[in-house]
A and B are shown apart, each in its own frame.
Chain A
Amino acid sequence: MFDIKKIKADFPIFKASKEATLHYLDSAASSQTPECVISAMDEYYRNFRSNVHRGAYALSEKASESYEGARATVAGFVGANQNEIVFTAGATASVNMLAYSFEQSLDLKEGDEIVVSIMEHHAMLLPLQELARRKKLNLKYINVDENYRLDYKSVESLITERTKIVGITLASNVTGAINDVSYISQIVRKMGALVVVDATAAMGHIPVSVKELDCDAMFFSGHKMCGPTGIGALYINGELGEKLNPSFFGGGIVTDVDLEKAEFVSAPEKFEAGTPNISGAIGIAEAVKYLTEVGLENIKKHTEELTSYTIEKLKEIDGVKIFAEQDVEKNVGIVSFTVEGAHPHDVIEFLGRDNVAVRGGHHCALPFVKTLGVPATVRASIYLYNTKEDIDALVSSVKKAQEFFKK
């Protein structure tokens, strides 16, 4: 059973806020951390801190076991094999590394194509845009329709034999829309391009399986799924992992080094040069265990109800325009909106004073926000610890802000 009181008590931040209740509606930027994740990392620092892989003493054994155990846990969470999960510093680090590997290892010729959706976060878009610029590739976009959903009908004609890489987000961090990625991969497969999925906004909200998505690579960040900052995971399909050269070099990734060159170990180690973020890996794995224990279906159901409620209540306010996936079953708990007559920055400042934590701006998805026809939006994002009271606080604060700026 999903007991919201119990869930809330798992997160120390909600105890820490003193007089005023914290209405945290910014989980799409960074979620809160449950006690179990903090303790798991604390335990490492207090009781078995040491480097991994190269020590034959008990502490290092324990650290290595925990680190590799974390990899297995994360792999299991997304239906991947253990050797297909690379720990990185996060989503952004993952795509940058991947793009450089693609540049070295794929046969990319001038005029080849990269296809992305207009919804992409800059983390996906910019590394691929830069890759396209360096290699003189054409960057093409899957647009959205009037409901801000991907224009699936256009996909078939967009993907050609010259398409080499397709980058697609599983869920939009602006509208919350969950995209039908497997539909797209099925088309891409026929043309032989690689499918790279940004699962950052979706992870921890819906079950994700790399097999079902039928992707070649996928990435996400720990801090948006109850894990710590500074850690993320990059899934690279086994076959592709063998083919790709690392693009980040240093200790721990070689079988031999001579004066001119080095030979690399296999994936995933060859993509993890240097001392990894050990406590981070332990933390993200603990977050996975926590989310699994609460149950992703329960979390989804809970956020779905609140998303519905948010949309309904905001719609009642004159002058509020909503940019969100309205079919809440296909929304990861994100509602963007604008308030007529008040700039998003002024609105969020108002909300902030009422202890309603939301974000305002372009959410690092400028091409998408421009497509929506606004310079910026206010974004409320909902997660497992939120309640109706949070939404009521949001709505009443929005009304207050509107009233003030209307004067």
Chain B
Amino acid sequence: MSFEEELYRENIMEHYRHPHNRGALSDATFKGVGKNANCGDNLIFSVRLDKTGEIVEEVTFQGDGCAISLAGASLFTDKLKGMKLSEVKLMAPGIMYSLLGVPISHTRTRCALLPYEALSDGITKYGK
């Protein structure tokens, strides 16, 4: 398999070029930031919970990054919508690898985990 097919699968490139859920969220319940120490890229995740405070109603992300982190953010926000907050809290970082579904090398781990870090930061700050 060629390298393009391996890491930059059509699916990843599609999410990179046309990311879902990108933008600001004015009525967010909480926000979190992920910083990639290797390149200075930042992602901000904004999450709005429903009236019960138990379900993720809306989630968006802002910021710039490489194909892996942006595609990851797009896929991850899709996944989060409609989830119970209690379930979200149980998710391990490994979820990012499953969502991306492509082999991630050691140097790209930071890129792959960036969306997860942004969300975790928000959850920690929210504290509930």
Is B75 positioned at the interface, with any CB of A under 8 Å from its CB?
no
Is A167 positioned at the interface, with any CB of B under 8 Å from its CB?
no
Residue of B3, B13, B39 near A362 (CB, 8 A) is: B39
Chain B: CB-nearest residue to A362: B40
A-side interface size class: 10 to 19
- Measuring CB to CB, which residues of chain A are less than 8 angstroms from any residue of chain B? 343-346, 349-350, 353, 360-362, 366, 369-370, 375-376, 404-405, 407
Pick from B22-30, B46-54, B62-70, B80-88 the stretch touching chain A: B62-70
Closest Cβ of chain B to A266, distance in Å, is 41
Residue of A360, A370, A375, A405 near B64 (CB, 8 A) is: A375
- Bound: A345/B41 CA distance, A: 11
Find out whether the CB atom of B67 lies under 8 angstroms from the CB atom of A376. no
Find out whether the CB atom of A404 lies under 8 angstroms from the CB atom of B4. yes
Residue of B40, B64, B65, B108 near A349 (CB, 8 A) is: B108
B-side interface size class: 10 to 19
Closest Cβ of chain A to B69, distance in Å, is 8
Find out whether the CB atom of A375 lies under 8 angstroms from the CB atom of B67. no
Number of contacts between A and B (CB, 8 Å)? Answer: 44
Is B100 positioned at the interface, with any CB of A under 8 Å from its CB?
no
Q: Point out the residues of chain A lying under 8 angstroms from B68, CB to CB.
A: 345-346
- Bound: A111/B44 CA distance, A: 37
- Bound: A375/B70 CA distance, A: 15
Q: List 15 A-B contacts (CB under 8 A).
A: A343-B64, A343-B65, A345-B38, A346-B67, A349-B105, A353-B3, A360-B39, A366-B40, A375-B39, A375-B40, A376-B39, A376-B40, A404-B4, A404-B8, A407-B13
Q: Point out the residues of chain A lying under 8 angstroms from B64, CB to CB.
A: 343, 375
Most buried by A among B8, B66, B105, B111: B66
Q: Point out the residues of chain A lying under 8 angstroms from B40, CB to CB.
A: 361-362, 366, 369-370, 375-376
12 more CB-based (< 8 A) A-B contacts, given A346-B67, A349-B108, A375-B41: A343-B39, A343-B65, A346-B8, A346-B68, A353-B3, A362-B39, A375-B39, A375-B40, A375-B64, A376-B39, A404-B4, A404-B8
